[in-house]
Structure 1
C-alpha cells in the first residue's frame, strides 16, 4: 500500500538537525511508526539508527543490548567496548552503556538521529531513567525521536522552552478527510462515494489503523457497503476490520498467526518450534510483504513482532478457536529459548504457561549466573514466583535463595534456606556441604562482622569444585574472613589475593570485587589508608573497564574508599565516595551492607561538621538495622552516638552508650591474647571516656592492653589510637618523656600513610607535643593543623561546608586552570552540556554566580586540596 503524502508531518525530517528531542505520542495504531519510518527514509545513509522496543526491554540487559545493537553499526567506535559492557552484570548495564554512548557520540562529528519506537514499554523501569539520562546529557549532535503510546518521564519541558524539542500528538497524526479520501480511493480503485469516505473518516476519527483496515476491506468489497454500519469506537472498528482481514487469509496462515501470537518477539526458528511448521521464514516474508501488521525488530530481519492490536486480536481468536492451547505454546517457546540460551525469555514463557517445574529447572541455570554477577534482587524475585514448597525439594534453589536473601539483608530467611538445603545432604556431597559452610560464614559477616566459621573446614577450598571459579573464590574469601577474625591480617590478605586471582573473568564480578573490597578494609585496619586508597581506586578502574561499576560489589568498594579517605581526613572526598557507594547499594537493594555505608557516611559528615546530614544518615542506618536485624550496623550507630557524646563533652551520655555497646560484645578472654576486633574498637572509645573523666592511670593500663592486642593482630590503626591516648594520659600524669615516646612510636607505625584520624583520639590535648615533632615527621605536620582546627570548631558543630560529588571536585579543579567547558568535557570525556549542568549545580552549592567566584569559594572551603 502506497503511503499517503502528508507534507505537514514529513517536513519535520528537514528540521531534525535543529532539535534535540522529538516525542511522537498517540494511541495504538495512530501512525507513529509509519511517520518515523518516513523520516528515517528521508535521512542520509548512516545518519539514523532505529530501535523497536518491546516489554522485555524493561530488563536492563535487554535494553542495553538493544541500544548497543542499534548504535554500533552506525558509530563503529562503539562496537568493541559495548561488547565488553554487555558481558557485565545486569545492574551495571544501563548506566555503563549510556555513559559509553554519550562519550562516543560526543566525539562523533556527524549529526546522528536515534529513533526509538514503542518506547511506552519502558515506562516505570530503569530503562526509562536511562533514556532520560541519555537525552539530558546528549551532545548537541544527537537527536532522539521517541514514539510512544503514553508520555514518558523525559526532559521535554526544558527543551521545549529552549525551542529544541517538538511534540507530535494524536491531533497532528489524525488523517484529515482529504488524506483519508486518497487512502480509501486508492484501495477501492477510485470512484468511492464522498459519503462513504466521510462516514469512515468520522467513525475512525482519522485513526490510521482503522483507515488501513477499511482500505483492506475495500479491496474485497469496493462498494464499501459494509463500512456504513461501523461503530465510531476505535476498538469496534479494529475488531470488525481485523476479523474481515483475518477471515480472508488461508487457514494455515491463520493458524500460524494465532499460534505465534503468544510470543513477545519471534524468529523463524522460534516460530517453527511453536507453530509446528517448517516454513516459518516463507510465511514471515509473505506477511511482511503484505503489510500484515508485522514489525521488524532488527536490521538483519531475524526478529519480528506483531502490531499490539493485531496480537491482542489474534490471542482472542486463539482462545476461542483452541481453548487451553496457550499453555502448550508457552511450553514450546520456553524449551526453544532454553536451547538457544535465552534463559530469561525461557523463564518468562514457562511462568506464563504455569510450567513451574520447568521454570525451576531454568532457574537453577540462570540463578547461578545471577549469583556470579551479584544480581541478587532478580534472583530473589524469580524465586518468589515458584509455588510454595518448591525449594524444599530442590537443594540447588535452596542454596541460591540463601545467597540472595543474605546479600539483600534478609538474614533470617537466608538461614532458613541454608537449613533446608543442609537437611537433604548426602554424606558424599562434599561440594554442597562446603558451599553451605562458606555461606554460613558469610551470614555472620553480613549480620555482625563476625564470621560463623565453626563448621568451616580449614581446607574448605579443596572441597569446592575447581570448575566453578566464583564459588571457589568465595571459599578463599570465607577463609580470609576467618583469618581476619583471628587477628592474622597478613594471612587474611593472602587469602583475599587468591580469591581475586581465581575470579579474574567477566562472569565472576561479585566475588572478585568482594575480595578487592576486603583487601581495602584490611589495609585501613593495618594503618595504611593511603595504600588502601590506591588499591581501591585501582579496583574501581578494573570495575569500570569490565563494566562492573554499577554493581553492589562496586558499592562495597566505594564505601571502603570513603573510609580510607576519612582516615586521611579528606572528609569531602570521603563523603562523595560514600555517597556513590550508597547509591549503588540502594539500586541493587544490597541492604546487607547499605546500613554500613549510611553509618560510615554519618561519621564522615559529623567529622566535617555537617551535623544535620550526619543525623539523617544515622537515623536511616538505625532504622535499617532494626528492621533487618543487622547488628553490625547497630554497633556502628551506637559507636557513633558514643563518639558524638564524647566529642561534645557529654560524659554521662557517652557512658550510657558505651555500657550498651559492651553488653552486646563477647568479653575478652583471660589469657591476655588478641582481643575481638569489635571489642578493641569499643576499648578505644572507653579509653577516651576514662580520659575525659581524668582517670589517667586507668587510661595507661587499659590502653596498654589495647596496644598489645592491636600490635599482635597487625591492627596498627587501633594501636595508634591507643598510643595517642596513652600519651595524653602520661601528659596528664606529668611524665613528658613517656608522652614523646608514645607519639614517636605511633608515628613510626603508620609512616607515609597519611593516617590522620587516629591521632585525634585525645582531641587537642597533644597539639603542642605533635607540633614539636612536626619538623622531622611529615605525618605530625599534617595532623597539627587538623588539631588546631578542632580547637576552633567542635566536631559536633554544624558548619555549613558544601559537599561536592567526585565529578564536581574534578570540574572545580579544572576551572582553576582556566579551561573552557568544551576543554573540560574533553578532559573528563563528557559532553559540554553535561559540564554546564555540573557547573549549575556547583554554583548553587557554593552560592556563587561565576566561575571566578566558584574557584575563590572552593579555595576558602579548601575544596581544592
Structure 2
C-alpha cells in the first residue's frame, strides 16, 4: 500500500537573497567532510539550518549530491522515520534500496540487523559519496531509532556523510567518533556573529546604517546571537534614537527575545500583527489555509511580502506554496496570541482542522481537533481514516492521540479497535487480537443503530483468524454471515470477505469454490489498490494449486500479481510468500537456477517485511532445495531456523509444511525412529481418515513407511490416492503415486504419475520422491552443479555449440570448456550425450 510522503520535508530552508557569507564556518564544514558526521548543535535562534542551507547552495559548497530531511515530533516513530530517511536518500537515485523502501511504504519494518545490512550495502554500492542532512534531530527520542543511527555512525559507510542539526546533543556515540577524528562540530560559540558579521548582517540583510558604537553595543548585548540581532534590527527600523534603544536591552536571551518580538511586532501595521498572531497556531503556512483562519484573501501575497521583509518566515518549497515561522518566533507569537485573543483560539483550531480534513490531510486535522477539544471530530476522523493512518506510519501518533482523549471517548470507536486488530492479524501477532475484538464487539453491542459494515468487518476478521488456526467450520460460518450482512458496493469489505471465504474453502478442500473466491479477492483488491488483500489471496491460491497440481494456472496469476506490485512500487508483506511458492514451481519444472533466485528473492522480501510465516515458509523450502542437491547438513540448518519461528503463533499450514520437510530430511538421514516420533507429534496417526487437512502428513507417513519397508505402506498409498483423486487434488495424487510405486504399486503407478504430471511440467518430484524403487535411477551427485554449470548444461541440451554458448553467456570458449569439464566430473560422465541424459534424470534440464 503506497504511503503518501510530504515533499516539503526534503526541502532545506531557502537561501535568503541578501545572506551574508560566513566563510570561516563554511571552511569548518568542508573540513569536517573527511569524517563520518558533522554535528551542528546549538539552542534555538542560532541560525543552524540557514547556515547549512546557505553553505550547500553557496560558492563554497562541496561538489556532492545532498539529501535533506526536516524532522518533526511525528517522525519519532521507527517506521515513519525510516521511510522518510530512505526516501531522502532516493532523491538522487530513484532505485536506491528499492525493496527496503517498498517494504517501509507498506508499513513493514524489518529487523534492525537486516535493515542496517541492506542500507549500508546499498550505500557502499553508490557511485559517489553524498551528504544527508537531518534537521531538528532533537525530536528523535525513540530508542530503536537512536540505536539505528548509532549503528549507522559506527559502521561509517564511506559514501555517506551525515550532518546532524540539533538543539541538544543526541545520545549517539559522539565521543567515539570524536576520539577517532571522525566528527566535525559546529557549536553555539562558532555560530555567534562576530563584530564584522554583525555589521554586515545589519547593513546587508536589514538595510540599517548604524554607527560603529551602536553595532558594537548591539553585538555585545545580544552576544552575537543571530535571532536576537535580527529582532533587534527589525525593532530599530521603527526607532528614531538607536543608541537609546540599544542601551535598553538587558536580561536573558528569553527575556530579550520576548521583548524584541513585541518591539518587532509594533513596527508592523495592525492588520499584519493580527495576521501573524492568528496564524501562529499552524506548524506550516499556506495562502489558502491562512485565508481560512484570517479571512484575508491576499494571504499568499502577504506571506511572500513578509519573507522579503525577513520577518522569520521560512519558505518550505520552491513554488512559494508552503512556509513556516522560525520556531522561536512562532512560539512567542503563540504566547502573544493567548494573551491577546484567548477566546479565538478554539475556533482557529476548528477552522484549521476543517481545512486539513477537506484537503485529505487527516493527521493534521486530528491534531487541531484535539487542540480545540473537539472530541467528536477526533473520533470521526479516526473512524474514517484509522486504517489508512496506521499504514502511513502514524501508529505512535494514534497512541498519543488516544491518550489525549478523555476516557469516555476512547472506547467510542469500534472501527479504531478493528483497525488495530487487522494489523495484529496481518503481522501474525494473534495474542493481541482478542482485546481489540472485545472492545469493538462491546461498542457494537451497545450501538442504537445497526452498523452492518462494521459488524461484517468484525466477522470477516474473526473468520480470517479462525481459518489461520485451522478452525474451518467456524471460519466458514463467520465468513458466510459477514457476506450476508455486508452492504452492497463496499469493495474493500467485499475483497476481505472473498479472501476469508477462499482461504477457508481451501482448507476445507472445496478447491473449485476457493478458486472463485480467491480470484475475486485478487481482482477486487487490485481494482481498488488494496494490494495487501490481493497478495494474501495469491498466497492462498499458491497453497491450493500446489495441492491440486494446477501449476501453470498459478504461475500466470502469481507472476501477474508480482508484476503489478512492482509497477506500483509496493511490497505487501505476503509478496515474499508468493515468490517462495513460485520458486517451488520453477524447481518442479527443473528450472533450478530460476528457482533458487526466486526463493532468495522471496526470503529477502519476507525478511524485510518481518513476516515470520513467510520467512519460515521460505526456510522450509530452501531445505528441500538443499536436500535435493545432496546437502543434508545445510537442509538441517534451514529447518532448524524455520522451527525457531513456530513458537510465534504461525498458521497451521506452515507448521504442517515444516513437519513434512523435517520427516523428509530424517528419512534421507536414515533416522527412521526420529522420523516416526516427529510424525506422532502431529496428532494425526497413519490410520486416520485422509482429508485435505491431513493429506500432507499422511504423505509424510507414507514416505516413512516406504523407507521402513512397512507392510501397511501400499494400503496407505491407496487411501491417499483415493481421497486425492476424488477431490481432484492431483498434485497430492502425483506424490502419492510416486511413493506408492515404491510401496509395492510398481512401475504402473509411476507411469500413471508421469501421465498426470506431463501436462503441468512435473519433473523434480520424480527425482526427489524416489527413494528405494527398484528402477534404474542415477546415484546422487557428490557435489552439486554450480549455477553457471547448469546454464552451460541447458544450452548444451538445447543444441548450442561451444562458440554459441560462449556468445550467449558472454564468456570465452576456454571458460566454456572449463565449465563443461567440471560438470562432466560432477555428473560422472565423459561424453556430451551422457551428460545430457544424466542431467535429465536428475531434473536439471
Equivalences for residues 160-559 of structure 1 within 5 A: 173-183=191-201, 187=208, 189-192=210-213, 196=217, 199-200=220-221, 204=223, 206-219=224-237, 220=239, 222-223=242-243, 226=246, 230=250, 238-239=257-258, 241-246=260-265, 249=268, 253-275=272-294, 280-281=299-300, 283-319=302-338, 329-367=348-386, 369=388, 390=409, 393-408=412-427, 409=429, 410-413=432-435, 415-416=437-438, 419-420=441-442, 423=445, 431-448=453-470, 450=472, 452-456=474-478, 464-505=486-527, 507-527=529-549, 532-533=554-555, 535-549=557-571, 551-559=572-580
Deviation, 1:57, is 7.5
Taking a change above 3 Å as real, the CA distance of residues 394 and 743 of structure 1, as seen in their structure-2 partners, is: same
Taking a change above 3 Å as real, the CA distance of residues 633 and 64 of structure 1, as seen in their structure-2 partners, is: closer
Deviation, 1:544, is 0.9
Task: Check conservation: 1:242, 1:313, Cα contact below 8 A.
Answer: yes
Task: Check conservation: 2:717, 2:740, Cα contact below 8 A.
Answer: yes
Q: Match of 1:740?
A: 747
Matched position secondary structure for 1:412: helix
Task: Check conservation: 1:574, 1:604, Cα contact below 8 A.
Answer: no
Taking a change above 3 Å as real, the CA distance of residues 22 and 661 of structure 1, as seen in their structure-2 partners, is: closer
Cα distance per residue 1:138-171 (max 9 Å; x no partner): 999x99987665789999999999x999876656
Q: Measure the CA separation in 2 of the matches of 1:265 and 1:341.
A: 16
Cα distance per residue 1:392-411 (max 9 Å; x no partner): 64444454444333223234
Aligned length: 755
Q: In the alignment, is residue 624 of structure 1 matched against residue 648 of structure 2?
A: yes
Cα distance per residue 1:322-381 (max 9 Å; x no partner): 66976554333222211222112212333455543322201222135468x798968985
Q: In the alignment, is residue 585 of structure 1 matched against residue 622 of structure 2?
A: no
Matched position secondary structure for 2:509: coil
Equivalences for residues 792-807 of structure 1 within 5 A: none
Matched position secondary structure for 1:453: helix
Specify every segment of 5 or more residues in structure 1 that has no aligned partner in the other structure, as ranges. Answer: 670-674, 731-737, 772-783, 794-798, 803-812, 820-852
Q: Measure the CA separation in 2 of the matches of 1:137 and 1:519.
A: 44
Task: Check conservation: 1:402, 1:417, Cα contact below 8 A.
Answer: no
Q: Match of 2:775?
A: 769
Taking a change above 3 Å as real, the CA distance of residues 391 and 815 of structure 1, as seen in their structure-2 partners, is: farther
Name which of 709, 721, 738 aligns with 1:724. 738
Specify every segment of 5 or more residues in structure 2 that has no aligned partner in the other structure, as ranges. Answer: 1-15, 788-804, 812-817, 828-843
Taking a change above 3 Å as real, the CA distance of residues 378 and 603 of structure 1, as seen in their structure-2 partners, is: farther
Q: Match of 2:795?
A: none
Task: Check conservation: 1:113, 1:144, Cα contact below 8 A.
Answer: yes
Task: Check conservation: 2:437, 2:458, Cα contact below 8 A.
Answer: no
Q: Measure the CA separation in 1 of the matches of 2:242 and 2:357.
A: 48
Taking a change above 3 Å as real, the CA distance of residues 175 and 420 of structure 1, as seen in their structure-2 partners, is: same
Q: Match of 1:610?
A: 634
Q: Measure the CA separation in 2 of the matches of 1:283 and 1:713.
A: 74
Cα distance per residue 1:71-115 (max 9 Å; x no partner): 99x99x99xx9xx999985669xx9xxx9xx99xx9999x99998
Query: Is 183-192 or 424-433 further displaced after alignment?
Result: 424-433
Task: Check conservation: 2:698, 2:720, Cα contact below 8 A.
Answer: yes
Taking a change above 3 Å as real, the CA distance of residues 418 and 181 of structure 1, as seen in their structure-2 partners, is: closer
Task: Check conservation: 1:440, 1:452, Cα contact below 8 A.
Answer: no
Q: Measure the CA separation in 1 of the matches of 2:524 and 2:826.
A: 45
Task: Check conservation: 2:315, 2:323, Cα contact below 8 A.
Answer: yes
Q: Measure the CA separation in 1 of the matches of 2:104 and 2:164.
A: 27
Q: Match of 2:801?
A: none
Task: Check conservation: 1:446, 1:592, Cα contact below 8 A.
Answer: no
Q: Measure the CA separation in 1 of the matches of 2:396 and 2:766.
A: 41
Deviation, 1:428, is 7.4
Q: Measure the CA separation in 2 of the matches of 1:52 and 1:614.
A: 40
Q: In the alignment, is residue 4 of structure 1 matched against residue 20 of structure 2?
A: yes
Equivalences for residues 560-575 of structure 1 within 5 A: 560-564=581-585, 572-573=596-597, 575=599
Cα distance per residue 1:236-270 (max 9 Å; x no partner): 65455445435655565455434433322122332
Task: Check conservation: 2:577, 2:602, Cα contact below 8 A.
Answer: no
Matched position secondary structure for 1:304: strand
Matched position secondary structure for 1:753: coil
Q: Match of 2:50?
A: 34
Q: Measure the CA separation in 2 of the matches of 1:814 and 1:244.
A: 81
Q: Measure the CA separation in 1 of the matches of 2:655 and 2:503.
A: 20
TM-score normalised by length of structure 1:
0.69
Q: Measure the CA separation in 1 of the matches of 2:508 and 2:24.
A: 77
Name which of 762, 768, 773 aligns with 1:760. 768
Taking a change above 3 Å as real, the CA distance of residues 526 and 70 of structure 1, as seen in their structure-2 partners, is: closer
Task: Check conservation: 2:498, 2:520, Cα contact below 8 A.
Answer: yes
Equivalences for residues 93-172 of structure 1 within 5 A: none
Deviation, 1:492, is 2.2
Deviation, 1:546, is 1.4
Deviation, 1:543, is 0.3
Task: Check conservation: 1:29, 1:207, Cα contact below 8 A.
Answer: yes
Task: Check conservation: 1:296, 1:305, Cα contact below 8 A.
Answer: yes
Taking a change above 3 Å as real, the CA distance of residues 506 and 430 of structure 1, as seen in their structure-2 partners, is: closer
Taking a change above 3 Å as real, the CA distance of residues 662 and 452 of structure 1, as seen in their structure-2 partners, is: same
Task: Check conservation: 1:496, 1:519, Cα contact below 8 A.
Answer: yes
Matched position secondary structure for 1:537: helix
Q: Indicate the RMSD between aligned Cα atoms, in angstroms.
A: 5.9
Q: In the alignment, is residue 653 of structure 1 matched against residue 706 of structure 2?
A: no
Q: Measure the CA separation in 2 of the matches of 1:156 and 1:337.
A: 40
Task: Check conservation: 1:533, 1:565, Cα contact below 8 A.
Answer: no
Q: Match of 2:699?
A: 684
Q: Measure the CA separation in 1 of the matches of 2:806 and 2:55.
A: 41
Matched position secondary structure for 2:314: strand
Task: Check conservation: 1:499, 1:515, Cα contact below 8 A.
Answer: yes
Deviation, 1:21, is 9.9
Taking a change above 3 Å as real, the CA distance of residues 556 and 254 of structure 1, as seen in their structure-2 partners, is: farther
Matched position secondary structure for 1:455: helix
Taking a change above 3 Å as real, the CA distance of residues 391 and 554 of structure 1, as seen in their structure-2 partners, is: farther
Task: Check conservation: 1:699, 1:726, Cα contact below 8 A.
Answer: yes
Query: Is 745-754 or 116-125 further displaced after alignment?
Result: 116-125
Task: Check conservation: 2:132, 2:162, Cα contact below 8 A.
Answer: yes
Deviation, 1:760, is 3.0
